[in-house]
Each structure stands twice: as structure tokens, then as C-alpha cells.
Amino acid sequence: MTTWRIPFKRAWDWRNAGLTPDAASKLERDWEYVEKALNALQAGSGGGATTVYTSDAFTRSANPIGTSDASLGGAPIAWASHTGTWKCNGTAQPSDGEVKNAASVDVGFANVSVQCILNPRTQNFAEYLGIACRVTDALNHYYLAALSDGGGGCGIYFGKLVAGTNTVFNAAGVVPSFVNGGSLRMTCVGTTITAYVNGFPFWVATDTSHSVQTKHGMHHHHDNLAGPANQFLGLGRIDNFVVTAPY
């Protein structure tokens, strides 16, 4: 079985190529994520290829977000925004001022793995940003999201929305390694939903609330429900979104 090694991915190499330190660090994380994803996909399928349904690197500038670019595999699929308008310009982000919103692509399968790179962007208000599985709309889906608390901390939350009611299955109050970004993945098979953070399995939940939905995508909500809409800044960013067969 081939082990993937992607050359020319260190931040130092990117800086030598003329990129700024911030851009070099982002590219280093992106390449590391792609390398890990390729190896995980191969390992999870016993050495064969795992089917990629769609993917999006968000390299275009679009508002609304448009159609997934399939640059990481799969087929282009039109995004649907559920409450508010999602946009992209190198990365994806939710629209400002929405308490709960989501964007999804319909891949035709309820059993999937959904993954992304996330930069939660520390800010002053409680913003949850991450991935969504089995989406009906902005108020009904499973989610795995990072919470940026504005104080340099970053928690990870795994839960569901049912008719807008938020139920948290599990949470990690502070994940230091995730403050500046990392990878999230959810795998749904039947009633079993597994959450992965930076490639490691964190939690498993068994739930029947969302079982047949074939739309999956991005999740965003705020705890600051009483604040004015202009406080909901939407500073987090999502990159390298991929939906595959479960692994």
C-alpha cells in the first residue's frame, strides 16, 4: 500500500518561494491536511480508493457560494444556503448577522464522511463554526464545530439541532492545538455518528433524529442570541471541504 508523501509543503519552502509567513503557514497546513486525508482514505478502504462524492477548495470569489469546484475529487454540486448567504474567496464563510445557518450539498447518500480544514478565528463573541451532516435546514442537522471564545481559547462541540433546539452530545472545553486551525470530520453510518478532530476519533454518538437526509455541508451558529445582529461577525473560515463514502 502506497504511503502518500507530498513534497514541497513546509512553510519554509513556501516562504522561500516569496509567500508571506501567514500565507506560507496556511499552505503548509493545507498540504498536511491533504496528505493525511489521502492516507486516511486509503487506510480506511483497505488500500483501495474511497469514493469522493464532492469537494470544494473555495478558491473562487463568489457571493453566494455557487457550486463546489470538485478540485479535491468528486463531482461539482450546487450549494444551498439555509438562512443567510454563504460566500467564499479562497475560503468559505457564513453571512454576518445570522443566529443559526448552514450550507449544504446533496450527494444522494445519508451514510458519509464529511471533513474540512477550519480556522475558527478568535473573536469577541461565541461563534460555533464547522461541518454539518444529514441537513434538512439550518435548524435540523448534526454538527461538529469549534467555538472561538474571544479569549484565546477554542472548544470543540459535537451535537444536533432538532427544530432549532441544540443538544450537545459531547464537548471539549479547550483544545489548545485547534486555536489556530485544524481538521474536523464526521462519519455517519446508520444511527452511529463519529466525530474526529485533527484525524483522531474523539466521540461516538448513537441517535435517530436525522437518519435519511442526503445533504451535508457547513454549520454556523451563535450563543449570543440576545445581541444585535451586527455582533455576529462570522470571522471563522472553512477550507478543503470533502464528502466521501464513510471511512
- pLDDT tens across the length of the chain (247 residues): 444 444 444 444 544 555 566 665 665 666 566 656 655 555 554 445 689 999 999 999 999 999 999 999 999 999 999 887 889 999 998 876 567 889 999 999 999 999 999 876 654 456 788 999 999 999 999 999 987 665 556 788 999 999 988 899 998 876 666 666 788 999 999 999 999 988 888 899 999 999 999 999 999 887 654 444 444 455 678 999 999 999 8
Contact criterion met (CB below 8 Å) for 171 and 158: yes
Burial class of residue 212 in the structure, from the number of CB atoms within 10 Å of its CB (0-12 exposed, 13-18 middle, 19+ buried): exposed
Which cell numbers in the block locate residue 99?
Answer: 443566529
Residues 101 and 30 grouped into a single domain: no
Residues 28 and 61 grouped into a single domain: no
Q: What is the pLDDT of residue 146?
A: 85
Cis link prior to 64 (omega < 30° from 0)? yes
Q: What is the pLDDT of residue 219?
A: 92
Q: CB 167: neighbour CB atoms within 10 A?
A: 11
Q: Any idea what the CATH number is for the domain that residue 167 is in?
A: 2.60.120.560
Residues 92 and 138 grouped into a single domain: yes
Q: What is the pLDDT of residue 67?
A: 96
Contact criterion met (CB below 8 Å) for 215 and 150: no
Q: What is the pLDDT of residue 147?
A: 78
Q: What type of residue sits at position 92? A: A
Q: What is the pLDDT of residue 23?
A: 60
Residues 143 and 219 grouped into a single domain: yes
Residues 45 and 57 grouped into a single domain: no
Residues 3 and 82 grouped into a single domain: no
Q: How do 92-93 and 80-82 pair as beta strands?
A: unpaired
Q: How do 215-222 and 112-119 pair as beta strands?
A: unpaired
Residues 233 and 188 grouped into a single domain: yes
Residues 72 and 61 grouped into a single domain: yes
Residues 1 and 29 grouped into a single domain: yes
Which cell numbers in the block locate residue 48?
Answer: 483501495
Q: What is the pLDDT of residue 150?
A: 56
Residues 144 and 215 grouped into a single domain: yes
Number of domains in the chain: 2
Residues 66 and 172 grouped into a single domain: yes
Residues 130 and 197 grouped into a single domain: yes
Which residue range forms the structural domain that includes residue 41? 1-49
Burial class of residue 165 in the structure, from the number of CB atoms within 10 Å of its CB (0-12 exposed, 13-18 middle, 19+ buried): exposed
| Strand, helix or coil for residue 33 | helix
